[in-house]
Structure 1
Amino acid sequence: MPVLDRWRRTTAALLATLALIEICWELWLAPLKPGGSWLALKALPLVALWPGVARDRTRALQWALLLLPWYFAEGVVRGFSESGRHALCAVIAAAL
């Protein structure tokens, strides 16, 4: 099933990209406090889920589906309420 394999790889790549964006967002790109903030730890659940999603484990995919709406909501809220680099990072995170 090459189509399903492509979707699995795309899902794993997008999850890894979202985790990387979340870490960079809070540490370097647009941190809440100069020098970075502890909010970078919000990427840890994504990093922990990545191996299971990459191996197409059902439980990991279920947990990802439970967690991803929170990341989307944060991106939408911060995208509309902040400006500059903060809003750009938020919109990118929500789009992923």
Structure 2
Amino acid sequence: MARTPKPLPSLEWLKPRLTFSRVASLSSFFALAGVLLGWNLWFAAIPGKLLWVILALQLIPLLLLAPGLLLGHARAHAWACFVVNLYFIQGVLAAFDPSKALYGWLLALLSLALFCAALLYTRWRFQYDRKLAGE
């Protein structure tokens, strides 16, 4: 039994969805970085040099993804879906501690938003590129 390929959506249908998902992924990406930075600098009582080590360990994965996300590469958005799971786990674990509950919920919600937006952008970007190629 041969499978019939599913038709690709039109370019007019894909363009606004690409724009929305890219804006949503970039805004949740920067909000996630801001929450991490703000929590560690102002609210977490971490002494001196240890603060910079923790900040580096938390922000380096995001900094590695930043150029690809800013340029709109679909593969960088796909990798963001993998990396952001670490922040989701950290957020869920922090949400169980009453002193870090707000931080944990913010981290979990922002990472979930980034995951969904980046996943949709990746899907629609590959469909858009296939449609442009004449498929």
- Give the TM-score taking structure 1 as reference length: 0.82
Greater RCO (CA < 8 Å, at least 6 residues apart): 2
* Equivalent position amino acid for 2:101 in 1: A
Is the aligned partner of 1:22 residue 2:11? no
Aligned-partner Cα distance in 1 for 2:75–2:45: 33
Deviation at 1:32, TM superposition (A): 4.5
Q: How many pairs does the alignment contain?
A: 93
Q: Which runs of 4+ in 1 moved over 6 A?
A: none
CA distance in 2, matches of 1:54, 1:10: 12
Structure 2 unaligned runs (5+)?
Answer: 1-14, 111-135
Secondary structure at 1:90 match in 2: helix
1:76 aligned partner: 92
For the aligned residue pairs, the C-alpha RMSD in angstroms reads 1.8
- Structure with greater Cα Rg: 2
Cα distance in 1 between the residues matched to 2:45 and 2:81: 27
Per the alignment, residue 33 of structure 1 pairs with 46
Task: Please say which of residues 20-29 and 32-41 is displaced more in the overlay.
Answer: 32-41
Alignment counterpart, residue 70 of structure 2, candidates 54, 61, 69: 54
Sequence identity of aligned pairs in percent? Answer: 30
TM score, norm. by length of structure 2: 0.61
Structure 1 residue runs of 5 or longer lacking an equivalent are none
